[in-house]
């Protein structure tokens, strides 16, 4: 009887140990899965930010082929295609994402962004119209402003631009877009103020500097503005200002500004030389 009891205890102990071993193995597997998820998440973030855009596209294409049901990987592929300047391909992926039950408002915003990049403004507008007004993000209102611009609805565009500026700490690009909108409407002084504001937020935004020169030139103000610029930038801006003066019919001023641009540039400024030669009837020696 004692022997039977002893054997029973041994069996119970063996089974308990086996149960502990299985439990331990399962915990290890779960821990490894968690580590893999963390590592993958970090890798996905790297691919979406600092990795080469085309390498990121290849990475997310492989990942979505292996796991086509995962929307996070589909989003990664679409965003990578935008970074790689392939908006048409990105739009196809975003269309698939927004058709999924897992789609959110930001997915529609990103879909609209890709459609705008391909010139499909009406489709983009239709996507944004499906988003509730409670979804207030910088990107959403920046796109709304651009669409209002395309529709020449200036009042709505100004309202959306103003809202977008208030939703970001880095508004330089949207201020530049807003300024360009006013420039196309002929509101030159308003455009000038917005370009100055944009440069104040980002002194390296050359597009805003060039647009500022266009706004001043349209008002026949041919003095260089007091903004940060390199010597090369100054030469390029003088060239823009010169062409603006010529367009306004102020040929003598344009010729003077072209000469200044050529003298200012630290190297041979072929574009300005060519412009001056054209203005002089091709008689300038290079």
Query: What's the pLDDT tens digit per position in 237-277?
Result: 999 999 999 999 999 999 999 999 999 999 999 999 999 99
Contact (CB, 8 A) for 240 and 272: no
DSSP H or E stretch at residue 164: helix 154-166
DSSP track, 245-283:
HHHTT-HHHHHHHHHHHHHHSSS--HHHHHHHHHHTTS-
For residue 84, being part of any structural domain is answered with yes
Q: Give the per-residue pLDDT at 187.
A: 97
Contact (CB, 8 A) for 235 and 206: no
Per-residue pLDDT averaged across 206-227, rounded? 96
For residue 22, being part of any structural domain is answered with no
Query: What's the pLDDT tens digit per position in 101-115?
Result: 999 999 999 999 999
pLDDT of residue 50 exceeding 80: no
Query: What's the pLDDT tens digit per position in 235-248?
Result: 999 999 999 999 99
Domain's final residue, options 76, 95, 123: 123
Mean pLDDT, the chain, whole residue set: 87
Per the structure, the complete domain to which residue 275 belongs is given by 230-286
Interatomic CA distance for residues 97 and 91, integer angstroms: 10
Per-residue pLDDT averaged across 228-240, rounded? 97
Length, in residues, of the chain = 286
The verdict on 198 and 247 lying in the same domain is no
The verdict on 208 and 243 lying in the same domain is no
Domain CATH number, residue 58: 1.25.40.10
The verdict on 81 and 119 lying in the same domain is yes
By percentage, how much of the chain surpasses pLDDT 70?
84
Least confident range of 28-37, 76-85, 210-219: 28-37
Long-range CB contacts (< 8 A, 24+ apart) of 151-157?
154/181, 154/185, 157/181
pLDDT of residue 26 exceeding 70: no
Highest average pLDDT, of 55-59, 61-65, 88-92, comes from: 88-92
Query: What's the pLDDT tens digit per position in 149-176?
Result: 999 999 999 999 999 999 999 999 999 9
Q: Give the per-residue pLDDT at 24.
A: 55
Q: Give the per-residue pLDDT at 270.
A: 94
- Give the total number of structural domains in the chain: 3
Q: Which of 39, 45, 100, 91 is nearest to 69 (CA)?
A: 100
Q: Which of 197, 249, 242 is nearest to 216 (CA)?
A: 242
Domain's final residue, options 69, 101, 123: 123
pLDDT of residue 17 exceeding 80: no
pLDDT category of residue 1 using cuts at 50, 70 and 90 = very low
């Amino acid at each position: 009887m004692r022997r039977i009891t002893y054997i029973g205890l041994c069996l119970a102990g063996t089974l308990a140990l086996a149960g502990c071993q299985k439990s331990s193995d399962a915990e290890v597997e779960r821990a490894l899965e968690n580590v893999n998820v963390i590592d993958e998440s970090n890798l996905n973030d790297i691919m979406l930010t600092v990795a080469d855009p085309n390498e990121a596209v290849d990475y997310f294409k492989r990942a979505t082929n292996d796991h086509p049901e995962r929307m996070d990987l589909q989003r990664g592929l679409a965003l990578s295609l935008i970074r790689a300047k392939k908006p048409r391909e990105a739009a196809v992926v975003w269309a698939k994402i927004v058709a999924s039950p897992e789609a959110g408002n930001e997915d529609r915003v990103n879909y609209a962004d890709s459609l705008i990049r391909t010139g499909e403004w009406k489709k983009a507008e239709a996507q944004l119209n499906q988003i509730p007004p409670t979804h207030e993000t910088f990107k959403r209102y920046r796109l709304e402003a651009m669409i209002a611009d395309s529709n020449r609805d200036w009042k709505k565009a100004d309202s959306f631009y103003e809202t977008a500026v208030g939703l970001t700490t880095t508004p330089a690009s949207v201020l530049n877009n807003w300024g360009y909108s006013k420039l196309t409407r002929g509101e030159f002084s308003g455009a000038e103020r917005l370009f100055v504001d944009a440069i104040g937020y980002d002194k390296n935004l050359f597009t805003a500097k060039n647009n500022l020169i266009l706004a001043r030139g349209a008002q026949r103000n041919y003095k260089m503005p007091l903004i940060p610029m390199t010597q090369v930038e100054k030469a390029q801006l003088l060239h823009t200002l010169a062409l603006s003066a010529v367009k306004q019919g102020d040929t003598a001023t344009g010729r003077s500004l072209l000469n200044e641009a050529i003298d200012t540039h630290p190297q041979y400024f072929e574009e300005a030389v060519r412009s001056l030669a054209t203005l002089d009837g091709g008689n300038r020696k290079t």
